[in-house]
Chains A and B, each alone.
Chain A
Amino acid sequence: MSNSTNNSITIDGREIPFEEGQTIMDAARAADIYIPHLCHRPGLKPHGSCKLCTVDVNGRAASSCTLPAANGQEIANNTPELKEVRKNITQMLFVEGNHFCPSCEKTGDCTLQAVAYHLDMLDGHFPQFYPKRKVDASHKSIFLDRDRCILCELCVRASREVDGKDVFAITGRGMDAHLIVNSESGKLGDSDISTDDLAAQICPVGAIMIKEHGYEVPIGRRTFDLHSIAEPGLEPVILRKGKHADE
């Protein structure tokens, strides 16, 4: 193969370098190129479930978070066609859950919502599923609203890979897939999760929430009032929720 110091791929006509072992997503991030994504977070194992990071690699669709970069790949990312596909995927996520942003404590700080804004999504397009999934408020400082869960498994991976616990899992098949808690009772209150855990903080939507901290940030100063989702290096800002640097 070619000399590893000269490895490069082309994204929307721009040639960028990559290091052996990097995915297309890794290389794009290093070059400050935004590829929309929900289930990916640097430092955790790629998951490939949300499909928002779909790009065209040499004319074929692929998930950029899982596909290794390879020398000479011609990649399309920021095209009207991909934007439409990503918007449709985002609409599917919205209608599958109960995403009533006006009453959600995550609004303005929600990555799903910010991605939808980025894609100029105006409506859900598809019929609503209106799922009825159980809220778990058994933990003294964390609650779980499964109707907002998008099954990205960031909490599952954060708990296993970073917190060294194994609090969450996905169970059920097809449309019945849902988030469960690995405690004997299945209740969050009987797990060993704590608010300091990455798993308690990482949820990109309003599914895993810290109790009694809703609506603390004034409208106009929430994460995505101040930042566009397409800004590079936003992950630490998103995790800081409610404690913005300027406050």
Chain B
Amino acid sequence: MSKKIRVATTSLAGCFGCHMSFLDIDERIVELLEHVEFNRSPITDIKQCGPCDIGLIEGGLCNADNVHVLREFRENCNIIIAVGACAINGGVPAMRNNFTVKECLEEAYLNGIGVENPMIPNDVELPLLLSKVHPIHEVVHVDYYLPGCPPPADAFMKVLTDLLEGKEPSLPKEILHYD
């Protein structure tokens, strides 16, 4: 039996919607698992990314931990795929770029409706927010992009199938959308 392709996945400033859309491949995941094994991913219990063939990254970069995880993936994955609108251009979370981090934190933790014990969380355990949300290609090299919010399940299948077959991934127009 040929060696399985190793795939790692992560959600940075994502909503997990891209992962859900990936799982929308439904029973096709059974056949996919014949060819693929999952390394670090929200659907496995592996804490650190090991050497992998493909890393699927959902979400943009909104805090220091996102940057750390993204670099870990880039160091370990031969191919990095930016999955979904957030990883590609920051997405809807990047609408906070119209405000300062201070304004956002004050609105959420001090002045928001229903806030009790107003205080901006400051424990060192918590990753600091970046001043702006960024797409992942502004921090690491990205090999391929899979647009959509989220990309359709068929788009995940198409790109993974192409890569498994050793082809350049391509998306037919029917499954190319940004929304």
B83 to chain A, nearest CB (A): 11
**Which residue of A is nearest B176, CB measured?**
A117
**How distant is the Cα of A122 from the Cα of B83 in the complex, in angstroms?**
10
- Chain A residue nearest to B60 (CB atoms) is A128
A130 contacts which chain B residues (CB < 8 A)?
Answer: 90, 94, 97-98, 132
Main secondary structure of the interface of B (DSSP, over half): mixed
A98 and B94 contacting across the interface, CB-CB below 8 Å: yes
Q: A189 in the interface, Cβ–Cβ < 8 Å?
A: no
- Give the contact stretch, choosing among B47-55, B72-80, B134-142: B134-142
Q: Does B7 contact A (CB under 8 A)?
A: no
Q: Which residue on A lies nearest to B88, using beta carbons? A: A123
Q: Verify if A168 is at the interface (C-beta below 8 Å from B).
A: no
Interface residues in A, total, Cβ within 8 A: 24
Q: Which residues of B contact A120 (CB under 8 A)?
A: 171, 173, 176
Decide if the interface of chain A is mainly helix, strand, loop or mixed: loop
Contact A100 B91 (CB under 8 A): yes
The 8 Å CB contact of A100, one of B89, B132, B138, B144, is: B89
* A234 within 8 Å of B (CB atoms): no
Q: Are B179 and A95 in contact (CB under 8 A)?
A: no
Verify B171–A122 contact, CB threshold 8 A: yes
Q: Given contacts A103-B95, A107-B179, are A117 and B171 in contact (CB under 8 A)?
A: no
**Contact: A102 with B178, CB < 8 Å?**
yes
Q: Are B95 and A94 in contact (CB under 8 A)?
A: no
Cα of A124 to Cα of B136 in the assembled complex, Å: 12
Q: Report A-chain residues with C-beta under 8 Å of the C-beta of B144.
A: 122
Nearest B residue to A222 via CB reads B179
Which of B89, B90, B178 is within 8 Å of A113, CB to CB? B178
* B145 with A128: CB separation less than 8 A: no
- Whether A102 contacts B134 in the complex (CB less than 8 A), given A117-B177, A122-B171, comes out as no
A117 and B88 contact, CB distance less than 8 A: no
CB of B82 closer than 8 Å to a CB of A: yes
* A102 touching B85, Cβ below 8 Å: yes
A94-B89, A123-B137, A123-B145 known; A128+B179 contact, CB < 8 A = no
Q: In the complex, which residues of chain A have a beta carbon less than 8 angstroms from the beta carbon of B90?
A: 100, 128, 130
A 84-112 to B, binary, CB cutoff 8 A, 1 in contact else 0: 00000000001100111111100110000
A122: chain B residues within 8 A (beta carbon): 88, 144-147, 171, 176
Residues of A participating in the B interface, judged by any CB pair closer than 8 Å: 94-95, 98-104, 107-108, 113, 116-117, 120, 122-124, 127-128, 130, 132, 147, 228
A-B contact pairs, 26 of them (CB 8 A): A94-B89, A95-B89, A98-B95, A102-B85, A102-B149, A102-B179, A107-B178, A108-B179, A113-B178, A116-B178, A117-B173, A117-B176, A122-B88, A122-B144, A122-B147, A122-B171, A122-B176, A123-B89, A124-B88, A127-B138, A128-B90, A128-B135, A130-B97, A130-B132, A132-B97, A132-B98
Known pairs A94-B89, A102-B92, A107-B179. 9 more at Cβ < 8 A?
A98-B94, A100-B94, A100-B95, A101-B179, A102-B85, A103-B95, A122-B171, A124-B89, A130-B97
